[in-house]
Chain A
Amino acid sequence: MQRSARPYLDSLLAIQQDIGWELEEIQDWNCCGATEYISVSRLPAYALNGRNLALAAQQANGVNTVLAGCSACYLNLAKTDRYMQKDGRLNAQVNEALAAGGLHYDPGTVKIRHLLDVIVHKVGLEAVKRKVVRPLTGLRVAPYYGCMVVRPDPENRFGSPEYPTILDELMKALGAEVVDFPVKTHCCGGHMTQISAPVAYELIRRLLYAADQYQADIMVTLCPMCQLNLDAYQDDANKHFRTNYTMPIVYFTQLMGLAFGHDPAELGLGREFVNTAPALAKIGVEVPEEPAAARPRTRRDDPSLPMPQPLLKK
């Protein structure tokens, strides 16, 4: 979320006070490996996620929820935790690997949840509604969930793996008009843009086609991969199929920020490939043309926290 999905992080940090949060980054987190590491080798991929879980558990400090914004991070962390609980051999092996770095993780210690789930179910729609100062009245929004947050979802946090509605409800709470979006949990193409681009273009086209047919002004996502594929590759997909879709793609946190009255630049708006200005003009928001200068990032850096120390075996 620090780079290609920077608007996601910026908008999340902007709204965290509104919803009464103080977020703390997992110190020295590593990449979750997306769907790539686990394609190459299994145990190292679980150990990779095991390290993040172990670091989170050490840092937990009374709070035991790990919040993931990205679908792949969410699923990989949740899956590692679940399989370590269910598969004793995997648990032992992952912990043996972690021990080489002086770490240990007991599965189940931290709860891994997606940002959207916690905002809707813990903060609550009523609390969100109370913060709205600039309702998104008249803005037609296509809610796009993608795959890996709502599926496999063994704990049934999203209500339905094929037709969830919690993002719809959140958008309605912000005053937006939500379109009935039949492809809301279809795939954005994932890494296929790199492996076999035409396959990805077709999946991107289906989503853009549906959003266009339902006369959506804007599509909201909850995953950096979906946003990148639909936004940055929209032009390529258009060229491939000789179409001319101009569907702006933003993160749900950006629309929350707008509804809470934040400045568009603070929310990272203007960094998209597909221009969001015409859509957001409908709610009277002017999108900056040039991306705003980087805002100094504040991270709580309290030395009294129980920080993990690397204990390296030679």
Chain B
Amino acid sequence: MTKLTYIAHDGTRFEVEAENGSTVMENAIRNAVPGIEAECGGACACATCHVYVDDAWTALVGEPEAMEEDMLDFAYEVQPNSRLSCQIKVRDELDGLVVTVPERQG
């Protein structure tokens, strides 16, 4: 199991154990992390699971692919560390990953 931490907009921390192969979005929904809507259910089609990857983790998490980058156009307050959490797959190297949920989803 891999440990993930979500920081909600109000600063509340949610620490969850995630299975490898699942997505960061799925674990947020499973653990009722507020602010992740995932309207499209994980199809990379809505930009409502937008998160900011903690600076210490951006290199390991990696850059969005072209399709995700396109979809990020629909998100708000996009930053260089913005990702759609449905496109981040949990794996061993991400143990300890920290992501912050923006104030509002698209």
A binds B: no
